[in-house]
Structure 1
Amino acid sequence: LSDILNDEDLKTMVKQTESSIDKKMNKSKR
Structure 2
Amino acid sequence: MNKQDLISKIKQLEGISQDERAYLINLVNT
Q: Normalised by the size of structure 1, how large is the TM-score?
A: 0.48
**Normalising to structure 2: TM-score of the pair?**
0.48
